[in-house]
Amino acid sequence: MPTTFTTDTDRLAETVDFVRQQDAATLLPLLLPGLDALELRALVDRCRFSHAALLIFPPAREALHGVLAGCGLSTDVPPQPSVVVRERLAARHRRDPADLDVRILRPPVAGPDGTNRTVEVFTLAVPPGSDLTGIAETERAREHEAHLAFDIERPDPLVLRGMCAIFARHGATADGGGYNPHEDGTVFYFTAPADTKAGYRRVELYAPGDHRDVLAAHLDAHRARHSAETLLRLMTGAWTTQALAVFADLRVPDAMHTDEGTPAGTLARAVGADPESMVTLLRYLAMHGLVASERDGFRLTGLGALLRTDAPDSMRPLALMYGGPFYRSFGALGHTVRTGEVAFDHLFGENHFDHFARHPELAELFDHSMAAASRMFAPLTEHPVVTAASNAPDRRTVVDIAGGNGALLGRVLTAHPRLDGVLLERPHVLDAARRAMDAAGLDGRCAFRPGDFADVPPGGDIYILSRILHDWDDERCREILRHCARAMPAHAHLLIVERVLPLDDSASLATAWDLHMRCNVGGRERRTDHYARLLADAGLTLVGRSPLPLEGNVLHARPAGAPHPAGR
């Protein structure tokens, strides 16, 4: 199977031909070189080649029909969501799974003897210019999801253990697996040996029925093989933070192209860096999909382009903040864990709000980093409360409390021309907010109020607290919410944007940010029931919760006793 093609249609066509031509008897010796005749017969007698899989990236879901038809495949097979591949992509590329709409379909293909086979096609739509382009480029180059699959016939524990032993004896290594109760089937994944000649690096053995006893031993082998490597990658995570910060600080993305490579030496001269060190940095970032190595140098991927200074909602300020003052204070995390005190305060002698206020360059960086993060919460503009207010016969007012430079409020006002805004912020921040609103043509629809939480203006229809409460302890949160409750008319709504801790302690970005808030800010993330109690203490009632990208949430609250519908 060639590893590079100019189009996904070519890649899929090659896979279809492969499935049509191969069978277990010819494929297994290529997959496991060194099989003797008895081992080969034992495997061939008990399993059949069922499918090959690959991941493709059509520019739109509608384009998939043409790709399938171009390869002679049925277009009548409806795609279904693929949770497993979506989660793997999200983990590899550090993305929110909600941003990755991965689908799977299995169009039939006839084998050389007329046997029924399939091509397992995973799809992720990547429109031109999408920030998913970097994922597509990396996955096409590395083919992480490409694999071969064999169905085991008449499996029993002895047969399964014997087959796993044969695979291990010839260099294949355990690479995960699982039991699917919906299909009542057990999957064993392997990484093919280094000397495989089959062209695929991953292999799947599928056994109908529940074989979790055999699977447990298989997964133990997988964990033992990967535990040291996993731990080492965790230990070196700080290297990635600094590599991103240096990449952004030197403005290397600004000097790169997304459609052609640039020699590392040219980039080094453009940004004033050491050429050899620049090569090393770019190779490291290529491992993470921010740049791609080309014959003529390095090319900026869609992922790396998010760090350009001129990118819409550039994430460069976030990279500089996480690789700058917050990076330094995270070095004192042990102080927080031992004492419960804020490491930032311990290191710098004051809380981060006061420290940034005394250093204008840091204050500006912090405000820009918060604005960059607001891209996560763009769907707030479609919240039913906001939509209902926009459709009301008279004009309604949205009050953004401590809304930074107005990035989020600007999104709301731009999306809903019938809404007006009030931005409550510190005086020095309002200057930047006025300029931003004016540039967006929104200055005439937004009032700017200098002040603190005690100055929440009365009479609004919608109040927004976006990533505010997680900055503070419970008592301060109650105080902030009481100020909101006193200002809110009976018909008003309060929308709180936060990451919410899961109830079952499952993996979550909120858990990571909980550690960050305690170490650097003195706040914390909370569970939904915790927010509900804080709201109740302030005379407000939590009436709803809806998801946002990157595990954000909108918590919808009303004055106690108010009706729950979105409109007045």
Helix/strand/coil for 561: coil
CA distances from 276 to 144, 279, 355 (A): 30, 5, 37
Residue corresponding to tokens 């993996």? 507
Q: Which of 345, 306, 304, 341 is nearest to 326 (CA)?
A: 345
- The residue assigned the tokens 């060190």 is 277
Does residue 355 carry a catalytic annotation? no
357 three-state secondary structure: helix
- Burial class from Cβ neighbours inside 10 Å (0-12, 13-18, 19+) for residue 555 reads buried
Q: Estimate to the nearest angstrom the gap between the alpha carbon of 356 and the chain centroid.
A: 29
Angstrom distance (rounded) from CA 157 to CA 163: 10
- At 44, list the tokens: 């061939």
Count of CB atoms situated within 10 Å of the CB of 380? 22
CA distance 501 to 341: 21
Short-list 468, 476, 321, CA closest to 408: 468
Q: What is the DSSP letter of 526?
A: B
Question: Whole-angstrom Cα distance, residue 139 to residue 303?
Answer: 13
Which two structure tokens, joined as six digits, stand for 302?
């869609």
| Exposure letters 454-491 (e unless 16+ CB within 10 A, then b) | eebeeebbbbbbbbbbbbbeeeebbebbbbbbebbeee
User: Among 303, 322, 424, which residue's Cα sits nearest to residue 365?
Assistant: 322
The single residue of 51, 335, 416, 470 carrying the catalytic annotation is 470
Structure tokens at 560: 């106690």
Hey, which residues are catalytic here?
Answer: 470
